[in-house]
């Protein structure tokens, strides 16, 4: 492997500016790496080589003219295949969209192109971002670069695996209930979910609109901070977009955290964790103590209801959002339908996979007459209580920490036949989406078989600078983030 591909985006940027390598050479090296390992990993649904090389050439032209480069210009990036990029297939890993070619750019894709970031391909995911293992894709499972027999986590498994295996230096994923943080934890990299509304969702194929948020994957906290800066900002095309200034997050990384308060979520460190995960969290607590932080145990009593709340609200919103995939205007259509109802029924039956069908049915049931108040309305009320509990907790502490997941990556197929066991994988991550908080997973150690463990850090709404600060201080006090999968 080209040694430069193992470097962080910050280091690659420096090499480009010092003319040690060209953007075309770096992007070409990324494609060579993809060609050498992709058949083992399955991280990409499609490659966008032409677009990426065009972007890289523009970067080299700017360097030759002595012009200043935008942040992350020339750094290879993988885009989750539920974000539109003109001229590329945008499939959401579903048969129903297998031949859909995007006619427009999502706002995040446009921002990447405006900053001359080469997009090398569209990353595989659980179909319509529904899953925790990336085994629900219509185009094949993604394999964890640390152990090819294990899952990479979901739903942004392709994005995480591409960064972990050095096929791309950066990636974008979407996080509805942990879909960035969980794969980051399983693949030993940094994954960050911003505050709801911080990043535009325009051009993201919707799963659950009140929960979805686009965020960065990287091999260091600094890289994630820079990528968030590139994709953040108010967007009039997204009605939920926050009208707030974009901060230079990297400026806050080195702030001293001595005397600050770190809350440990009691309900997530008491039982159900793998012994190695428990030990990693204890080590993280010790790290923060050495950094001069005050540790405080925080109880979030309503956290135990978060899975139930999430799987009512998320499925209800998915049932509504996915109604548009009916075979009428775009996407898959069944052959020789007898009438309109036959076309609707067969198109959706043939086009959607089992997990998507399961969630549509759950959501439709929760929204149906006679059950709306009992399920959907009650879940919304409980969501408000979970959010309030976080607000109270953040009056006492600066950040909250927990394991990102109670376990490390499991074997492919281990939980496929047990949806509930799969759903419980997200026990630590879901509440962050319910409350619209920024959250991050950073590498925090390894289990006895060498699989990565993630530490989850949560901050109050709009406090990304604080989140990056605490994450960076933890990262730099350890060397976990420097370890790479051997593939």
Residues annotated catalytic, as ranges: 80, 155, 179
Q: How far is Cα 421 from Cα 424, in angstroms, rounded to an integer?
A: 5
Give residues with Cβ within 8 angstroms of 3, minimum separation 6: none
Which residues on adjacent β-strands are paired with residue 454?
443
Burial class (CB in 10 A: 0-12, 13-18, 19+), 136: buried
Distant-in-sequence, close-in-space partners of 273: CB < 8 Å, separation ≥ 6 = 281, 403, 406, 407
Interatomic CA distance for residues 12 and 446, integer angstroms: 27
CA-based max dimension of the chain: 71
Locate tokens 């960050």: which residue? Answer: 192
Give the strands of the sheet with 439-446, arranged side by side.
44-47, 119-123, 77-80, 170-174, 214-218, 190-193, 439-446, 452-458, 399-403, 261-265, 294-298
Give dist(CA 311, CA 295) in Å, integer.
32
| CA–CA gap between residue 403 and residue 76 (Å, rounded) | 30
Looking at residue 303, what DSSP letter applies? G
Angle between helices 378-396 and 306-321 (to 10 degrees): 130
Joined tokens for residue 231: 């994709």
Confirm if 402 and 273 have CB atoms less than 8 A apart.
no
155: preceding bond cis by omega (within 30 degrees): yes
Which 3 state secondary structure label does DSSP give 109? helix
In a 10 Å sphere around its CB, with 0-12 CB exposed, 13-18 middle and 19+ buried, how is residue 305 labelled? middle
Q: Which has the closest alpha carbon to 324: 356, 348, 341?
A: 348
Kindly give the residue spans of alpha helices, DSSP state H, lying in 324-423. 340-351, 354-367, 378-396, 419-423
- Dihedral sign, Cα of residue 341, residue 345, residue 350, residue 353: positive
- Residues 376/365, Cβ–Cβ less than 8 Å: no
Element housing 315 (H / E): helix 306-321
Rounded CA-CA distance 263/296 in Å is 5
């Amino acid at each position: 492997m080209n040694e430069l591909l193992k470097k962080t985006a910050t280091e690659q940027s420096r090499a480009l500016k010092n003319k040690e390598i060209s953007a075309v050479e770096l992007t070409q090296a990324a494609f060579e790496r993809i060609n050498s390992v992709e058949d083992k990993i399955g991280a990409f649904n499609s490659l966008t080589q032409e677009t990426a090389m065009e972007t890289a050439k523009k970067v080299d032209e700017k360097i030759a003219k002595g012009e200043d480069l935008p942040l992350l210009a020339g750094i290879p990036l993988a885009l989750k295949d539920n974000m539109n990029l003109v001229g590329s297939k945008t499939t959401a890993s579903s048969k129903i969209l297998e031949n859909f070619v995007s006619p427009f750019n999502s706002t995040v894709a446009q921002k990447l192109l405006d900053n001359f970031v080469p997009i090398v391909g569209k990353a595989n995911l659980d179909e319509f971002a529904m899953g925790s293992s990336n085994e629900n894709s219509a185009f094949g499972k993604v394999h964890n670069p640390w152990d090819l027999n294990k899952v990479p986590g979901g739903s942004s498994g392709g994005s995480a695996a591409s960064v972990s295996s050095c096929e791309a230096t950066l990636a974008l994923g979407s996080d509805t209930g942990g879909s960035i943080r969980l794969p980051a934890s399983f693949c030993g990299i940094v994954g960050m979910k911003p505050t709801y509304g911080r990043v535009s969702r325009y051009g993201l194929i919707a799963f659950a609109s009140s929960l979805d948020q686009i965020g960065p994957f990287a091999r260091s906290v600094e890289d994630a901070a820079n990528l968030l800066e590139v994709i953040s900002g108010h967007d009039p095309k997204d009605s939920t977009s926050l009208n707030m200034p974009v901060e230079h997050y990297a400026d806050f990384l080195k702030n001293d955290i001595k005397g600050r308060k770190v809350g440990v979520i009691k309900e997530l460190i008491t039982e159900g964790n793998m012994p190695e995960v428990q030990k990693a969290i204890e080590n993280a607590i010790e790290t923060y103590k050495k950094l001069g932080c005050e540790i405080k145990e925080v109880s979030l009593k309503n956290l135990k209801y978060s899975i139930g709340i999430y799987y009512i609200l998320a499925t209800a919103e998915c049932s509504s959002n996915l109604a548009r995939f009916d075979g009428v205007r775009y996407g898959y259509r069944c052959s020789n339908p007898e009438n309109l109802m036959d076309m609707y029924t067969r198109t959706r039956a043939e086009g959607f996979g089992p997990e998507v069908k399961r969630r549509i049915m759950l959501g439709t049931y929760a929204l149906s007459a006679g059950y709306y108040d009992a399920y959907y309305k009650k879940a919304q009320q409980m969501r408000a209580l979970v959010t309030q509990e976080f607000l109270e907790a953040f009056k006492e502490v600066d950040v909250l920490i927990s394991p990102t997941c109670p376990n490390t990556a499991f074997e492919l197929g281990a939980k496929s036949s047990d949806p509930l066991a799969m759903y419980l994988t997200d026990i630590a991550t879901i509440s962050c989406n319910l409350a619209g908080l920024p959250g991050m997973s950073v590498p925090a150690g390894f289990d006895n078989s060498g699989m990565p463990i993630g530490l989850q850090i949560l901050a109050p709404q709009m406090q990304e600078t604080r989140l990056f600060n605490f994450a960076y201080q933890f990262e730099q006090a350890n060397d976990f983030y420097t370890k790479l999968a051997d593939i």
